[in-house]
A and B are shown apart, each in its own frame.
Chain A
Amino acid sequence: DTAVSQTPKYLVTQMGNDKSIKCEQNLGHDTMYWYKQDSKKFLKIMFSYNNKELIINETVPNRFSPKSPDKAHLNLHINSLELGDSAVYFCASSQDAGAGNQPQHFGDGTRLSIL
C-alpha cells in the first residue's frame, strides 16, 4: 500500500491553464506538505498544513493554493500556469509538524511541464 500517493504522475499543459494535483496519505498523519523540486533538484517547501494552521512560504506566488478536504488529503491548485512552474511537485506528510523532528514521508512526485 502506497503511504503517500499523488496523481497525476505526469501533467503536461499549456501556459495560462489552471490545474490541480491531488495527494492522499494513509498514514494517519496530522500534517501534510507540498514541495517544489526544480531542474537542479533543489527542494523547496511551498506549504505545510494541518487542521490548525496553514504555513505558506512567502516566496510562493498566490497562484498556488492548497486545498484540504480532510486530514488525509491535501490538493494543490495552480492558476494561470507559467513556464517557470515546470518542476516536480512532491507531497509529503508527517505525524506532527509542531515537534519539528518527525520524519516526512514523500510521494513519488508529479512532473509538471508547461508548454
Chain B
Amino acid sequence: QQQVKQSPQSLIVQKGGISIINCAYENTAFDYFPWYQQFPGKGPALLIAIRPDVSEKKEGRFTISFNKSAKQFSLHIMDSQPGDSATYFCAATAPARQLTFGSGTQLTVLP
C-alpha cells in the first residue's frame, strides 16, 4: 500500500526551465510534508517542508504548493540548473508516526 504517490518517475528539463514534481496522499492524519533531495552516492537531505495550514512555501528557487482538499502537494523548481539534477522524494508523516516516502523522481537538467 503506497500512501504517498509521486509522479513523474523521471523528468528532463532544460536549464532555466521550471521543474514540477507532484505528490498525492490518502491519509488525512498527515500533517507534515517534507521534500528530500538525493545526489548519487549520498543520502537524502531535507530540501523544504510544509504544513497543511499554508498553501505555499517558498525558499529561494524551490516552492511547495499544497492543496489540502485535493490531498496533493507539489515541488516547483524555478530557473532549474544542472546542479539541481538529483532524485527528489516527497514524504509525509502524521504525529508520532514514521516518515513515509514517495517513490522518487529523477530530475535531469540539461545545460
Contact of A101 among B41, B44, B93 (CB under 8 A): B93
Measured CB to CB, the closest approach of chain A to B73, in angstroms, equals 15
Contacts of B61 in A (CB 8 A): none
| Interface members, chain A 56-77 (any B CB < 8 Å) | 57
Q: Give the interface size bracket for B toward A.
A: 20 to 34
Cβ of B66 under 8 Å from chain A = no
Cβ of A114 under 8 Å from chain B = no
A-B residue pairs in contact (CB < 8 Å), sample of 20: A4-B43, A40-B103, A41-B104, A43-B101, A92-B43, A97-B98, A98-B96, A99-B96, A100-B31, A100-B32, A100-B93, A100-B95, A101-B93, A103-B34, A104-B44, A104-B46, A105-B46, A106-B44, A106-B45, A108-B41
A residues sitting closer than 8 Å to B (CB atoms) are 4, 33, 40-45, 48, 55, 57, 90, 92, 97-101, 103-109
